[in-house]
Amino acid sequence: MVWERSSERLFIGGQWVKPTGSERIEIVNPNTERAFAEVPSGSEADIDRAVAAARSAFDNGPWPRMSLEDRSAVFERLSALIGEHRNEIADLVTDEMGCPITLSLGMQATTPKLLVDNFLAMSKDYPWRTVRESTTGRALVLREPVGVVAAVIPWNNPMVIALMKLTPALLAGSTAVLKPAPETPLDSNLLAELMKQAGLPDGVVNIVPAGREVSEYLVTHAGVDKVAFTGSTAAGRRVAELCTPLMKRVTLELGGKSAAVILEDADFGAVAESLRIGSFRNSGQVCSLKTRLVVPRSRQAEFIDAFTAMVDTMPVGDPKDPATQIGPMVSARQRDRVEGYIQSGRAEGAKVVRGGGRPAGLTNGWFVEPTIFTEVESGMKIAQEEIFGPVVTVIAYDDEDDAIRIANDSVYGLNGSIFTADPAHGVQLASRIRTGTVEVNGSPVGFTAPIGGFKSSGFGREAGPEGFDAYVELKTVGLPRDLELAG
**Both ends of the chain: CA-CA distance in Å?**
39
**With contact defined as beta carbons under 8 Å apart, do 296 and 306 qualify?**
no
Question: Cα dist. 149→16, 51, 168, 224 in Å?
Answer: 20, 9, 11, 6
In a 3-state reduction of DSSP, which class is residue 273? helix
DSSP state of 304: H
H helices then E strands: how many in the chain? 16, 22
Q: Give bridge partners of residue 290 from the DSSP assignment.
A: 258
d(CA 197, CA 213): 32
385 is catalytic: no
**With contact defined as beta carbons under 8 Å apart, do 118 and 447 qualify?**
yes
For residue 421, which phi and psi values (nearest 5 degrees)? -80, -10
d(CA 194, CA 207): 13
User: What is the bridge-based pairing of β-strands 258-262 and 290-296?
Assistant: parallel
In a 3-state reduction of DSSP, which class is residue 286? coil
Question: Cα dist. 196→11, 81, 116, 180, 371 in Å?
Answer: 10, 11, 16, 18, 44
d(CA 15, CA 100): 33
- From its phi and psi, is residue 455 left (phi > 0), alpha (psi between -120 and 50) or beta? left
Query: Of 96, 183, 216, 253, which one is the catalytic site residue?
Result: 253
Q: DSSP letters along 152-197, please?
A: E--SSSHHHHHHHHHHHHHHTT-EEEEE--TT--HHHHHHHHHHHH
d(CA 161, CA 458): 15
**With contact defined as beta carbons under 8 Å apart, do 10 and 16 qualify?**
yes
How far from chain centre, in Å, is Cα 137? 42
How far from chain centre, in Å, is Cα 124? 25
427 membership: H or E segment, kind and range = helix 423-430
253 is catalytic: yes
Q: Give bridge partners of residue 409 from the DSSP assignment.
A: none
Which of 298, 365, 293, 299 minimizes the C-alpha distance to 328?
365
**With contact defined as beta carbons under 8 Å apart, do 49 and 15 qualify?**
no
Query: Of 287, 339, 369, 439, which one is the catalytic site residue?
Result: 287
Q: Which positions are annotated as active-site residues?
A: 253, 287
